[in-house]
Structure 1
Amino acid sequence: MIQKPSLFSFSIDAVLLGRFVRVPIQKGNILDLCTGNGIVAILLTTRTKATIDALDIQPELVELANRNVLMNQKGNQVSILEGDLNDLPASVQQKKYDVVTCNPPYFEKGQALEKNLNPHFAIARHELHCTLEDVIRVCSEQVKYKGKVAIVHRPERMTDILLLMRKYQLEPKRMQLVYPKEGKSANMVLIEAIKGGKAGLETLSPLMVFDEDDQYTERFKEVYVRQ
């Protein structure tokens, strides 16, 4: 993956999202919102033959994502699109997807931006162009009935996420908390919902990233570094 220090680079959360969501193996359509440099879409190509549309609002990241798609020889499967989540390109609006994924901005617009924050980082981290409700509403609008929506976010927003999913007919079905290490509070949550699904949430066993020696745990390596 090509990354630039001046742009927002992917981290563990994006990789875990790409591993967590359940996808059709042979065919189908997938939409990845807030794709950044295309990491989630490219990871998904290792698990599915579905066609993938990946959208980001920042032209610099769209250019980088296109380069990554070409470098990984995924141009026949992944289409990178520039656009606003709240004003989707016509080619996206016309479709309904089997799966929609999103690694959205984590911090609410009202929260203070870090001093002198790079504008690319600000858009990626803060809800400047879309709110959490926008993300979940659009995911629901674009996914098929009985299709899946998966997002990664911060645990402190979990109540909002679950309530908004129910509001937009997305029934949370699988959830996993991710912890930096034993004894620390969770700093990520992965949630998968089904459009029009029945009630019933499966809480997966927690995932610890680091052990007591600050090395990746064996279980985390099985998820994160698998080929």
Structure 2
Amino acid sequence: MSLKLDYFIDENIQLYQDDEHFRFNTDTKLLAKFVRLKKQERVLDIGTNNAAILVYLDHFDVKELVGVEVLEETSKLAQKNVDTFIKHPCKIVNLPIQEYKDDLFDVVVSNPPYFKLNANQKPETMTYRHLGRMEENLTLEELVLHANRLLKSYGRFYFVHRPNRLNEINKVLYENHFSIRNIQFAYDHRDNKVKSVLVEAIKESNCDMNVLESIYI
């Protein structure tokens, strides 16, 4: 590993990153700040990468934080950040989320891969950065299915994705008994185009959808 110490959102929140791995980005920051926690909740981060979101959420009154990461070397980096910077009970699990089992969580959060694989992309040619962006290890359908499996009834699912997949996102959420409670669009101020969509979905709820004030980045 070639580690660099960075700060995340706030100069008081530090963590290690590796230049060869997928680094946190604007979407990671937007998602971390979008999450709303109640006291003493258990939180699962699917595809935790270097555990940046967990490091941020550690500053709230949580009961336990869990990060699941399929890539072994990336999970080692996440574990280093947990051991160094996190004070609440926290564990990193190196497994595909498809194989992970645990008690039900109050909150699930994920900054997942956004892009579908095409026929010319082979897993053996992908770097760690590619694997953080492409749906090789986790599709949208799998993400929502396992968020549902691991959440309590009326649990909250927070994630960030691409606006061009909103029809698919809404369809997959509905099929897995989620309703969107809050949705927020993040625009690039340079061209006024939506770059990311933040979603809070509630399991087994028939809530109305709120469209929150847009963010300009």
Tell me which interval the TM-score lies in, with the shorter structure as reference length: 0.7 to 0.9
Q: Within 5 A, what are the aligned runs for 1:1-227?
A: 1-24=15-38, 26-74=39-87, 76-88=88-100, 93-110=101-118, 113=121, 118-181=126-189, 183-209=191-217
Question: Comparing both structures, which one devotes a greater share of its residues to strand?
Answer: 2
Question: Which segments of 5 or more consecutive residues in structure 2 lack a partner in the other structure?
Answer: 1-14
| Cα distance between partner residues in 1 of 2:157 and 2:212 | 17
> What displacement does 1:122 show?
1.9
| Cα distance between partner residues in 2 of 1:48 and 1:112 | 46
| Cα distance between partner residues in 2 of 1:181 and 1:4 | 29
| Cα distance between partner residues in 2 of 1:73 and 1:184 | 37
| Cα distance between partner residues in 1 of 2:195 and 2:74 | 25
In the TM superposition, what whole-angstrom CA distance separates every residue of 1:120-163 from its partner, at most 9, and x where no partner exists?
11211101112100000000110000110011011111111111
CA contact (8 A) 1:6 1:118 kept: no
CA contact (8 A) 1:146 1:194 kept: yes
| Cα distance between partner residues in 2 of 1:152 and 1:117 | 26
The 1:128/1:65 distance shift into structure 2, 3 A limit, reads: same
| Cα distance between partner residues in 1 of 2:107 and 2:32 | 12
| Cα distance between partner residues in 2 of 1:10 and 1:78 | 19
The 1:140/1:14 distance shift into structure 2, 3 A limit, reads: same
CA contact (8 A) 1:175 1:192 kept: yes
CA contact (8 A) 1:154 1:189 kept: yes
What amino acid does structure 1 have at the position aligned with 2:89? Q
Q: Which residue of 2 aligns with 1:216?
A: none
| Cα distance between partner residues in 1 of 2:190 and 2:131 | 32
> What displacement does 1:47 show?
2.4
| Cα distance between partner residues in 1 of 2:165 and 2:198 | 11
The 1:15/1:50 distance shift into structure 2, 3 A limit, reads: farther
The 1:195/1:67 distance shift into structure 2, 3 A limit, reads: same
CA RMSD of superposed structures (Å): 1.8
> What displacement does 1:177 show?
0.4
> What displacement does 1:111 show?
6.9
Percent sequence identity is: 25
| Cα distance between partner residues in 2 of 1:195 and 1:202 | 16
CA contact (8 A) 2:154 2:203 kept: yes
What amino acid does structure 1 have at the position aligned with 2:84? M
| Cα distance between partner residues in 2 of 1:202 and 1:149 | 15
After TM superposition, the runs of 4+ consecutive aligned structure 1 residues lying more than 3 A away are 111-114
| Cα distance between partner residues in 1 of 2:119 and 2:56 | 31
The 1:179/1:117 distance shift into structure 2, 3 A limit, reads: farther
What amino acid does structure 1 have at the position aligned with 2:22? F
Secondary structure at the counterpart of residue 3 of structure 1: strand
